Structure 1
Amino acid sequence: MSPRFAAPDEVSLPLHVVEEAALEDWRAARPAAEAAWLTATGFAAGLGEVAILPGAGGAVAGAVAGLGTAGARARGRFHLAGIAARLPEGVWHLETGLSGPALEAEALGLLLAAYRFDRYRAQTPLKARFKAPAGVDAARIEALAAGEVLTRDLINMPAADMGPEALEDALFALAARHGATASAIRGYELIARNFPMIHAVGRAGPQAPRLLELRWGDAGPRLTLVGKGVCFDTGGLDIKPSASMGLMKKDMGGAATVMGLAHAIMALGLPLRLRVLIPAVENSVSSTSFRPQDILTARNGLTVEVNNTDAEGRLVLADALALAAEEECEALISMATLTGAARVAVGPDIAPFYTEDDALAAAISGAATDAADPVWRMPFHAPYETMIEPGIADLDNAPKGGFAGSITAALFLRRFAGAARYAHFDIYGWQPADAPARPKGGVGQGARAILGALPGALGL
């Protein structure tokens, strides 16, 4: 269940939020007994500090949280979410000087602090609940939280319970929830309908490969989202070592993220026409696996030499992007857990993205800052095009040498995206250690940045 704010009329306790520099003046304005209590307990308003304020008869009268300094806050995000778990049970409201994007980010963090993945084991719920802070759009924050919860739940599910069939069910359920339409092309029908690379990658899996589609909205600019839905990736015949295979349930993180983004778009009723395309496959090992040095012909007619069966994500995305390019749209965005090279470049916390459209890039980067959703623009570096041209075929899915792996993957995808305003996100989709509002496990990246960029980018 998606977390929601407490009702405005519920009785609540104040959570005062104070920066270090403002503590002295704030404390001087408080009742003498409260000020003395804070001095006695050594509360200094450092980032993450929290003090419970005593009331009459031993009751809790409220709490005060430290916001530290701007420099300390720059080293993290969702700071109040880290405090939420230390508050007593009850409903709380914020009393803070925060406003604008900073307040919205903290409000979202308070909702996401309640996230628990409890499908397989009961989890201790967050005791504290929160009212929407004054000055924020509660419906928007709740839609963002619900989209993120959907993304996390899908990624956290093990592949035994989140294969192509279950991913299809999840997309159809999302469509039904919002009055959208959904369809699927499965198995050998992929060949008949000219999606040869989706079929080649997924044909060895225990469940038939498929291309999933969702459509919503009948007016406004057209936005197409394409998400990589590799529900488990063994690496194929170029099989991964066990240490590299352990997290491969998250290889459908691109699909999960575009579904969470699609939920937010539809829940907020944005005036656009949305299309979601998800190639859903398992990259498995069997007698029917595609092989190294096979040459595949993509939907758009380009030939691809397979030099590593573990570079399969770009193959299935290529067919989906080729389909997207056959229909005009104002923006085309792909999201994928595509390369380890992206993690080497920017680590697990930042989503690198590629686009040739400077205005779109600026809109995404600006929105990312406001949404506490870090991204970094990377280059479609044209001189590297020769690295993905093997000579025997039009394209190479895994250039040798190991250099610029994220860039060459993005250049590969660009060959299929057509003339639309195109952006590609090479995300990680996983939080490697617990952090405020982000427990270890599946996580969305880039979705809030994209959502924030859409009004300006599409003229909504």
Structure 2
Amino acid sequence: MDACLVDAAAEPGAVPVYAATTATVEETIASLPQPMSQWAQANGFEGKAGSVLACPDASGQIVVALLGLGAPGSEDPFAAGALHKLPRGTYKLHQGFDDLAMSVLAFALSGYRFERYRSEKPAAVQLVMPSDIARPDLAREIEAVRLVRDLVNTPANDLGPAEIADAAQRLAERYDASVSVVEGQALEEGFPMVHAVGKASPRAPLLIDLQWGAPDAPKVTLVGKGVVFDTGGLDIKPPSSMLLMKKDMGGAAHALGLAQLIMDAKLPVRLRVLIPSAENAISGAAFRPGDVLQSRKGLTVEIGNTDAEGRLILADALALADEEAPELLIDFATLTGAARVGLGPELPALFTGDDALAADIAAHAEKMHDPLWRLPLWPGYKSWLRSDIADVNHISSQPLAGAITAALFLQRFVEKAAAWVHLDVYAWSSSDRPGHPKGGDAQTIRALYALLKARYTS
């Protein structure tokens, strides 16, 4: 159980929380004992979204808390996360909560703190886990999101390719999966673009391969971009653009988080997780603009910009994944600034050529309050990746539609998979908001887990 959640044994002493919209706030306040209702009225509590109020008795002890949900029809599903603004103590959901499970999830996700490097840990607000909650996946969702956030928040000096391999190994040991790591000469020969991107760093690039489940089960393969830090290479980034580059392995974190959900729930699939991991550093060994790289698939790739390295390592991993023609192939990557310009940090971009699958994912995303937005694999832009000297250039000749052209490049390396989904995620919350504290974040994995669960257990 998450540290900010306590079991029902703590309920007798817990402070009851009343939730109210702007339409129900008067009725809610009127239902309180008179001293509490007078306190709420005197403090002007109006049920605005994210507002909280602790109501004390005559001795100053908090005996009731109020939570504002906002206007009816526009309530934030993560509103219960605002309960962390209350004074330290233990609380219980008492009245006005339509979806107990979602409220608990919101509270738990809002209460996440990355405290690995802090000597002092702030006192926490705790919530009693309702005994009648009807969502068996709640605990595993919370744990998987925490895994993603912990990995993304860890700075690059403590998280290199080897440490990502260690994280995969820990999952493998927990769920009786197997892990192999390709490195050195075998990586250079089998995954030449992964090797090229990472060879300038003293921390060797790797290809991590985790496998789990019955060999004859439907094949589901996850691929995650694991660039542990991106300087931009010889096309070096400005300092301001490097500040968040520890999160450039967010795709790898997402792949591991979804893998944990799948394995913990024992979904009847043959799971494979491929993580190409490298540091895009600068040295005399760095790959250059204008270089032509061989790829695992056999295509030659002209380098237009060394700061577009993520799609190179993904391409080699996708080629391997595609070789065994999985039923579903999903890749995650913090890939393009263009996706953020178009959709902002809260909406990951979804690409797939399968309309039915896209609609199914969108439905689960809405149900799980785990948003994403589909962008097109527009074939008219394929010509923008043309190279004069190689089979393909890995960046566009045009300064437009960058997320689409990146996805079109990746599409060149997927032919046999029955269905392919590419997710361009931000993996970061730039400010504190309900359910999403500032820092590393998990996007789309709860929606995709719901999709896989419905698809393979119904």
TM over 0.5: yes
Tell me what 1:14 maps to: 16
Q: 1:98 aligned to 2:97? A: yes
Name the amino acid aligned to 1:249.
K
In structure 1, stretches of 5+ residues that fail to align are: none
Preserved CA contact (<8 Å) 1:314 1:338: yes
The answer on whether the counterparts of 1:52 and 1:63 sit within 8 Å (CA) in structure 2 is yes
SS in 1 for 2:9: coil
2:206 is aligned, of 192, 210, 224, to 210
* Distance in 1, Cα, partners of 2:61 & 2:412: 65
SS at match of 1:14: strand
SS in 2 for 1:445: coil
- Match for residue 252 of structure 1 among 249, 254, 259: 249
Counterparts of 1:437 and 1:456, CA distance in 2: 24
User: 2:428: which partner in 1?
Assistant: 430
Distance 1:5 1:165, change over 3 A: same
Q: Is the Cα–Cα contact under 8 Å of residues 7 and 131 in structure 1 kept in the other structure?
A: yes
CA, structure 1 residues 198+382, in 2 after alignment: closer, same or farther (shift >3 Å)? same
Q: Tell me, in whole angstroms, the C-alpha distance in 1 between the residues paired with 2:119 and 2:397.
A: 46
The Cα shift of 1:137 comes to 4.1
Give the TM-score normalised by structure 2.
0.94
Contact 1:47 1:72 in 2 (8 A): no
TM-superposed CA distance for 1:71, in Å, is: 5.7
Aligned residues of 1:116 and 1:125 also touching (Cα < 8 A): no
Question: Is contact 1:257–1:447 with CA below 8 Å preserved after alignment?
Answer: yes
Select 1:288's aligned residue among 276, 285, 293: 285
Amino acid at match of 2:95: T
The 8 Å contact of residues 229 and 279 in structure 1, kept in 2 or not, is answered as yes
Q: Aligned-pair distance for 1:14? A: 1.3
- 8 Å contact kept, 2:52–2:85: no
Question: Which stretch shows the higher mean deviation, 180-189 or 51-60?
Answer: 51-60
CA offsets per residue over residues 28-83 of structure 1, 9 Å max, x none?
A: 3333343333223322222222222334754322212111213653xx55211122
Question: Contact 1:233/1:249 (CA < 8 Å) preserved in 2?
Answer: yes
Q: Which moved more, 1:399-408 or 1:259-268?
A: 259-268
CA–CA separation in structure 1 for the residues paired with 2:325 and 2:170: 27
Counterpart of 1:59 in structure 2 is 61
**TM-score, normalised relative to structure 1:** 0.93
Contact in 1 for aligned 2:381/2:405 (Cα 8 Å): yes
Q: What secondary structure sits across from 1:232 in the alignment?
A: strand
Contact 1:85–1:127 (Cα < 8 Å) also in 2: no
Structure-2 separation of matches of 1:67 and 1:264: 30
- Find the partner of 2:155 among 158, 168, 177: 158
Provide the rounded CA distance (Å) in 1 between the counterparts of 2:260 and 2:159.
19
Identity between Structure 1 and Structure 2 (%): 44
Match of 2:6, SS? coil
What displacement does 1:283 show? 0.9
One-letter amino acid of the structure 2 residue matched with residue 5 of structure 1: L
Residues 289-323 of structure 1, C-alpha deviations (whole Å, 9 max, x = no match): 11111111211111111111111111100010000
Matched, 1:362 2:359: yes
1:311 aligns with 2:313: no
Change (3 A) 1:27 1:243: closer
Query: Using a 3 Å threshold, how does the CA distance of structure 1 residues 96 and 223 change in structure 2: closer, same or farther?
Result: farther
Alpha-carbon distance change, 99 to 77 in structure 1, aligned in 2, over 3 angstroms: closer
Query: How much has 1:351 moved relative to structure 2?
Result: 0.4
Summarize the Cα distance change of 1:241–1:43 in structure 2 as closer, same or farther, 3 Å threshold. closer
Q: CA RMSD in A?
A: 2.0
Letter aligned with residue 10 of structure 2: E
Per-residue deviation at 1:397? Answer: 0.7
- Which string of whole-angstrom CA distances, capped at 9 and with x for unpartnered residues, describes residues 237-262 of structure 1? 11112222221111101001111111
User: CA separation in 2, counterparts of 1:176 and 1:4?
Assistant: 27
Aligned CA distance change for structure 1 residues 3 and 380 (closer, same or farther; 3 Å): farther
Query: Does 2:262 match 1:265?
Result: yes
For 1:30 and 1:250, the matched residues in 2 are separated by 46
Spell out the pairing of 1:155-194 with structure 2 (5 A cutoff). 155-192=152-189, 194=190
CA distance in 1, matches of 2:15, 2:145: 27
Residues 75-96 of structure 1: CA distance to partner in whole angstroms, max 9, x if unpaired? x552111222314312x22123
- 1:126 Cα deviation (Å)? 4.8
* Alignment partner of 1:392 is 2:389: yes
Structure 1: distance between partners of 2:148 and 2:122: 19
Letter in 2 for 1:80: A
The worse-fitting range, judged by mean Cα deviation, of 242-251 and 52-61 is 52-61
Tell whether the 8 Å contact from 2:311 to 2:335 is kept in structure 1 after alignment: yes
Q: Which blocks of at least 5 consecutive residues in structure 2 are unaligned?
A: none
Q: 1:111 aligns with which of 108, 111, 114?
A: 108
Q: Return the offset for 1:459.
A: 5.5
Contact 2:80-2:107 at 8 Å conserved across structures: yes
User: How far is the alpha carbon of 1:284 from its aligned partner?
Assistant: 1.1
127-136 or 269-278: which moved more? 127-136
CA shift at 1:139, angstroms?
4.5
SS of the counterpart of 1:204? Answer: coil
Q: Which amino acid aligns with 1:436?
A: P
Distance in structure 2 (CA, Å) of the matches to 1:187 and 1:8:
53
> Are the equivalent residues in 1 in contact too, given 2:21–2:69 (CA < 8 A)?
yes
Q: Is the 8 A contact 1:85 1:126 kept in 2?
A: no
Give 1:166 deviation, angstroms.
1.0
Q: Is the 8 A contact 1:116 1:123 kept in 2?
A: no
* Counterparts in 2 of 1:135 and 1:302: CA distance versus 1, 3 Å: farther
Residue aligning to 1:88: 88
Which of 36-45 and 246-255 deviates more? 36-45
Mapped to 1, the partners of 2:60 and 2:337 lie a distance apart of 54
CA drift of 1:138 comes to 5.4
